[in-house]
């Protein structure tokens, strides 16, 4: 099977997304991961754009050895010199030079004629060859360039020594049919492409939502390199998404009959790394790496997944680095998924008990977007009368402020009516509250998530605190509401502790030697 070269431009075009600036260490961290994934070419930056970009490209070039490290340059001597200096230390270095060729760019941006652009491009390629034998040339806005001129400049670029010709759909204007035809046309008209083993490359933007479709059309018509980014980030609407290109080729190998060297199990971690470091969130319904990509809420779909995964999944979640799919419990979930979740949670219930709990579950699901495992446990524990000896907040006093050690005094009441009080200090008022509750309940947990939101308006608005605790590998969520956010924090923590205790009581019945 043929192999498609994956040219990742997350660190160059991807970083051009508004608000996606990366530091030098962050760029290096991403570059290391891309190399580990099997990316063929890493476009590390635009060295002339800033001293920081130059240093980032140079440092990446000095460390990355398996992937080709590429620096971008305009057809300007200083650009090429700077790119050459940055990549000359690379084990495998490339300079990517570009020059606009479309009529609109020639007339309104460059204000140069065709002949001048031809000569400029040839000179620039020749200069780049002084630093490396691996030179890529891009006629910018190729998808809007007249085919005759495109033939002429591509031929000249190859004769000048370019080893890769990239045909960018710079503004996302192309459609799959017309974009693919550019590649097939050039391959037919220019035998020199095959004679000199020149690679044709696709670089597509997503302004019309066609970046991936256009890239695949290019592959069908002879392209053997695709330029893409993790999560599809990039200028304006972004670039073709690496994860989509790779998984389409893998999943539909019957159609494309071409693969890549990418280790697909590293895709999901790469997505999360790039999202975290750039601050650009991945939309929930994003293909391959979105939160909902392998999540199922429909009762019909959940029933099918439980019987045979392939009924509603064309990819194994593990193939992109996810351990499992997710059956999202919500108002569309059916009895089969609910029964399965009850079993997974460790409950053994009769059909009557499950039916009763399912009715309560559906009532709750109509009120909230997603029903968590802890919600289901609370429903079942209540129906099985396992909620005895749970704590209530009977009193709370907090002292905090400048030059004062935050201190919380907490009073709890158990189901017998007995109250206990203790005080503790902390790094802040919430930490002090949680420390005091731990001392009173003698249940040690780790706080892994803490969120606050206003649920009403005005000065007396109610605040809601949502937290997630971890204990012995279990994740427990809790929620508290109050006009006093510190009280809401305490209530959320107690809700989590109570759910943990109910869960423990259930486990003690099933596994008598278990302990919190």
- Which phi and psi angles does 105 have, rounded to 5°? -75, -40
Statement: residue 460 has pLDDT above 80: no
- Same domain, residue pair 379 and 428: no
- Same domain, residue pair 306 and 448: no
- Asked whether residue 284 is domain-assigned, the answer is no
CATH number at residue 69: 3.20.20.70
Structural domain for 328, as ranges: 295-383
Q: What is the four-CA torsion angle of 115, 117, 118, 124, rounded to 10 degrees?
A: 140
504 is in an annotated binding site: no
Question: How far is 324 from 301, CA to CA, in rounded Å?
Answer: 16
Confidence of residue 238 (pLDDT cuts 50, 70, 90): very high
**Per-residue pLDDT tens digits for 148-164:** 999 999 999 999 999 99
Pick 92 or 344 by higher pLDDT: 92
- What's the pTM value of the predicted model, to 2 decimals? 0.67
CATH number at residue 483: 3.30.160.270
- Same domain, residue pair 76 and 145: yes
332 is in an annotated binding site: no
- Same domain, residue pair 324 and 379: yes
Q: What is the four-CA torsion angle of 204, 209, 212, 213, rounded to 10 degrees?
A: -110
Pick 183 or 301 by higher pLDDT: 183
Q: Rounded to whole angstroms, what are the CA distances from 466 to 255, 320, 479?
A: 47, 30, 5
Q: How is residue 420 annotated by DSSP?
A: E
Confidence of residue 514 (pLDDT cuts 50, 70, 90): very low
Beta-ladder partners of 476:
469
Percent of the chain with pLDDT over 90: 57
- Asked whether residue 288 is domain-assigned, the answer is no
Count of domains forming the chain: 3
pLDDT at position 335 = 82
Statement: residue 80 has pLDDT above 70: yes
- Same domain, residue pair 364 and 503: no
513 is in an annotated binding site: no
**Per-residue pLDDT tens digits for 294-346:** 665 455 565 665 576 567 566 777 778 775 555 556 667 778 878 877 776 65
- Asked whether residue 498 is domain-assigned, the answer is yes
- Same domain, residue pair 44 and 152: yes
Domain boundary among 383, 417, 437: 383
Confidence of residue 289 (pLDDT cuts 50, 70, 90): confident
- Same domain, residue pair 453 and 436: yes
- Same domain, residue pair 309 and 265: no
- Same domain, residue pair 359 and 412: no
- Check if the beta carbon of residue 398 is closer than 8 Å to that of residue 487: no
pLDDT at position 470 = 87
**Per-residue pLDDT tens digits for 250-261:** 999 999 999 999
Domain boundary among 329, 356, 383: 383
Question: How far is 152 from 150, CA to CA, in rounded Å?
Answer: 5
Confidence of residue 512 (pLDDT cuts 50, 70, 90): very low
- Same domain, residue pair 147 and 117: yes
Domain boundary among 278, 305, 332: 278
- Asked whether residue 124 is domain-assigned, the answer is yes
- Asked whether residue 15 is domain-assigned, the answer is yes
pLDDT at position 403 = 86
- Same domain, residue pair 27 and 171: yes
Statement: residue 463 has pLDDT above 90: no
Mean pLDDT, the chain, integer: 86
Which range is least confidently modeled, 25-39, 76-90, 254-268, 359-373? 359-373
- Same domain, residue pair 98 and 204: yes
Question: How far is 283 from 96, CA to CA, in rounded Å?
Answer: 31
296 is in an annotated binding site: no
CA-based nearest residue to 289, from 329, 314, 322, 251:
322
């Amino acid at each position: 099977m043929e192999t498609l070269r994956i040219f990742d431009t997350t660190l160059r075009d991807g970083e051009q997304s508004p608000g996606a600036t990366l530091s030098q260490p962050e760029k290096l961290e991403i570059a290391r991961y891309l190399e580990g994934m099997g990316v063929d070419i890493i476009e590390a930056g635009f060295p002339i754009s800033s001293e920081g970009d130059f240093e980032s490209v140079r440092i990446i070039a000095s460390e990355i050895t398996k992937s080709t490290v590429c620096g971008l340059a305009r057809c300007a001597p200083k650009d090429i010199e700077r790119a050459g200096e940055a990549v000359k230390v690379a084990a495998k270095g490339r300079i990517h030079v570009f020059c606009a060729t479309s009529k609109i760019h020639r007339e309104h941006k460059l204000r140069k004629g065709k002949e001048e652009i031809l000569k400029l491009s040839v000179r620039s390629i020749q200069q780049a060859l002084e630093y490396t034998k691996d030179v890529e040339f891009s006629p910018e806005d190729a998808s809007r360039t007249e085919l005759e001129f495109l033939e002429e400049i591509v031929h000249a670029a190859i004769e000048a020594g370019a080893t890769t010709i990239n045909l960018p759909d710079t503004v996302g204007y192309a459609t799959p049919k017309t974009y693919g035809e550019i590649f097939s046309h050039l391959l037919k008209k220019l035998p020199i492409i095959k004679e000199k083993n020149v690679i044709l490359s696709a670089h597509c933007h997503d302004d019309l939502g066609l970046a991936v479709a256009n890239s695949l059309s290019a592959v069908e018509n002879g392209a053997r390199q695709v330029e893409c980014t993790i999560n599809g980030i990039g200028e304006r609407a972004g670039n073709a998404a690496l994860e989509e290109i790779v998984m389409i080729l893998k999943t539909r190998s019957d159609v494309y009959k071409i693969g890549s060297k990418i280790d697909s199990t590293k895709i999901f971690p790469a997505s999360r790394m790039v999202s975290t470091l750039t601050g650009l969130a991945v939309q929930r319904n994003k293909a391959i790496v979105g939160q909902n990509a392998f999540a199922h809420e429909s009762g019909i779909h959940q029933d099918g997944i439980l019987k045979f995964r392939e009924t509603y999944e064309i990819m194994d979640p593990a193939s992109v680095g996810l351990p499992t799919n997710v059956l999202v419990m919500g108002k569309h979930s059916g009895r089969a998924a609910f029964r399965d979740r009850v079993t997974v949670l460790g409950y053994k219930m009769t059909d009557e008990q499950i039916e009763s709990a399912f009715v309560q579950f559906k009532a709750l699901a109509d009120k909230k977007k997603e029903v968590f495992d802890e919600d289901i446990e609370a429903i079942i524990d209540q129906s099985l009368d396992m909620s005895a000896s749970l704590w209530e907040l009977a009193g709370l006093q907090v002292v905090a402020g400048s030059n004062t050690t935050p201190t919380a005094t907490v009073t709890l009441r158990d189901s017998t009516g007995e109250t206990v009080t203790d005080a503790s200090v902390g790094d802040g008022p919430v930490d002090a509250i949680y420390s005091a509750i731990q001392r009173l309940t003698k249940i040690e947990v780790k706080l892994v998530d803490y969120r606050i939101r206003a649920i009403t308006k005005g000065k007396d608005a109610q605040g809601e605190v949502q937290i997630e605790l971890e204990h012995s590998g279990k994740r427990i969520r809790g929620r508290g509401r109050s006009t006093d956010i510190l009280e809401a924090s305490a209530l959320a923590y107690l809700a989590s502790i109570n759910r943990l205790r109910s869960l423990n009581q259930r486990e003690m019945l099933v596994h008598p030697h278990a302990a919190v």
